[in-house]
């Protein structure tokens, strides 16, 4: 039995990871300040004696004897990470320093949840890990993008300088149950709007693309990465390469919910990436043939069922 710390464990992805690692017979410490996470996401785990919930902010140091750390603490939706940009960058950078310091002190292996946002508004398509990105350092998305880029640098430097065992994953747009209905990201927005019969808000012309990954596929990739060959540090892309325009996504959601909602267009936010699609050849090669299994229609259906149960 391993003792595993998951920062941001009460959030959307973290709550699925907590459940998976508990089911595999581990002891899990879930650390969260509940900024975008919720007790509701992990409430069913609270009866398990091997599960421990800690209310804590990663910008302050935390100490516990653990074997592995998954560092997920950081708001991921543009609406939330732009709410307090200084706090967002502190969470990424000071959160990385504090969790890496803990890993160094107790000899734990540590995985960083980085993001496709390190590629910015990419000039290379699809994006391989070797692409250095196209990020505006002073725009409204910079607190997130540059915070995550700096965290990757810190992970590499703690490995080189202090021999900390690190892993870096770059997550592409992921969706599924336990997303907050007011999360602000496109999949949850469209589903909630469709179920309530409200207008579906497409930003810009809707021809911008994203590649959507169902959360179970991501969690499988994260666990495989943690257990990958010690010489493989990443960064590695984890995403579903099937790419859709936001118009196609809106139509799929309207179809699956039989909604009478109509599509409206709102202004496109500044620096909104025009396209995004992961090159997952490295993940396939290094993570025992890992690739996403759940396609959009199936994943959307499961997510719609979750939101129906809330509304």
Residue 185's CB is within 10 A of a number of other CB atoms, namely 19
Nearer to ligand UDP, 84 or 201 (CB): 201
Judge whether 144 counts as a catalytic residue: yes
- Of positions 4, 5, 6, 10, contacts ligand NAD by CB under 6 A: 10
Nearer to ligand NAD, 173 or 259 (CB): 173
| 98 interacts with, out of ligand NAD, ligand UDP, none, CB within 5 to 8 A per kind | none
| 99 interacts with, out of ligand UDP, ligand NAD, none, CB within 5 to 8 A per kind | none
Nearer to ligand NAD, 57 or 243 (CB): 57
What part of residues 38-67 is at the interface with ligand NAD (CB under 6 A)?
57-59
Which of 144, 158, 175, 214 is labelled catalytic? 144
Q: Draw the binding track, 73-112, toward ligand NAD (x: CB under 6 A; -: no contact).
A: xxxx--------------x---------------------
| Token couple for 134 | 């196209």
| 127 interacts with, out of ligand NAD, ligand UDP, none, CB within 5 to 8 A per kind | none
| 78 interacts with, out of ligand UDP, ligand NAD, none, CB within 5 to 8 A per kind | ligand UDP
Residue 111's CB is within 10 A of a number of other CB atoms, namely 25
Nearer to ligand UDP, 173 or 237 (CB): 173
- Least distance between ligand UDP and beta carbon 300 (Å): 14
Residue 310's CB is within 10 A of a number of other CB atoms, namely 11
| 158 interacts with, out of ligand NAD, ligand UDP, none, CB within 5 to 8 A per kind | none
User: Which residue(s) pair with 243 in the sheet?
Assistant: 211
DSSP the chain: --EEEEETTTSHHHHHHHHHHHHTT-EEEEEE--SS--GGGTGGGTT-TTEEEEE--TTS------SEEEE--S--SHHHHTTSHHHHHHHHHHHHHHHHHHHHHHT-EEEEEEEGGGGBS-SSSSBPTT---B--TTSTTHHHHHHHHHHHHHHHHHHHHH---EEEEEE--EE-TT--TT--SHHHHHHHHHHHTPPEEEETTS--EEE-EEHHHHHHHHHHHHTS-TT----EEES---EEEHHHHHHHHHHHHT----EEEEPPPTT--S---B--HHHHHHTTT------HHHHHHHHHHHHHHH-
Decide if residue 8 touches ligand NAD (CB under 6 A). Answer: yes
- Least distance between ligand UDP and beta carbon 90 (Å): 20
Nearer to ligand UDP, 167 or 276 (CB): 276
Enumerate binding residues for ligand UDP (CB under 6 A).
77-78, 173, 185-186, 189, 201-203, 208, 210, 246, 269, 272
> Mind telling me the catalytic residues?
144
Q: Which residues bind ligand NAD (CB under 6 A)?
A: 7-8, 10-14, 32-37, 57-59, 72-76, 91, 113, 115, 171, 173-174
């Amino acid at each position: 039995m391993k003792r595993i710390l998951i920062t941001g464990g009460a959030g959307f992805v973290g709550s699925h990871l907590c459940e998976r690692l508990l089911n595999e017979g581990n002891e899990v410490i879930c650390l969260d300040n509940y900024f975008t996470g919720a007790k509701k996401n992990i409430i069913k785990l609270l009866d398990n004696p091997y599960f421990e919930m800690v209310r804590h902010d990663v910008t302050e140091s935390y100490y516990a004897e653990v074997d592995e750390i998954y560092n997920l603490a950081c708001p991921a939706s543009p609406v939330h990470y732009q709410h307090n940009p200084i706090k967002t960058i502190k969470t990424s950078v000071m959160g990385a320093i504090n969790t890496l310091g803990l890993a160094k002190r107790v000899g734990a292996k540590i995985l960083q949840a980085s993001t496709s946002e390190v590629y910015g508004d990419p000039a290379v398509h699809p994006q391989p890990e070797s692409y250095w990105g196209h990020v505006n350092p002073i725009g409204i998305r910079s607190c997130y993008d540059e915070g995550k880029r700096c965290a990757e640098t810190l992970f590499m430097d703690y490995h080189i300088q202090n021999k900390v065992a690190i892993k870096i994953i770059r997550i592409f747009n992921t969706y599924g149950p336990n997303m907050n209905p007011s999360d602000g990201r496109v999949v949850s927005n469209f589903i909630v709007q469709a179920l309530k019969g409200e207008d579906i808000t497409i930003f810009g012309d809707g021809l911008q693309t994203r590649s959507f990954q169902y959360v179970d596929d991501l969690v499988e990739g994260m666990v495989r990465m943690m257990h990958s060959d010690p010489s493989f540090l990443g960064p590695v892309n984890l995403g579903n390469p099937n790419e859709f325009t936001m118009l196609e996504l809106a139509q799929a959601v309207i179809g699956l919910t039989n909604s009478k909602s109509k599509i409206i267009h709102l202004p496109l936010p500044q620096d909104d990436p025009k396209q995004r699609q992961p090159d997952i050849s490295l993940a396939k090669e290094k993570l025992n043939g890992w690739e996403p299994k759940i396609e959009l229609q199936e994943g959307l259906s499961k997510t719609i069922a979750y939101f129906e149960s809330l509304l």
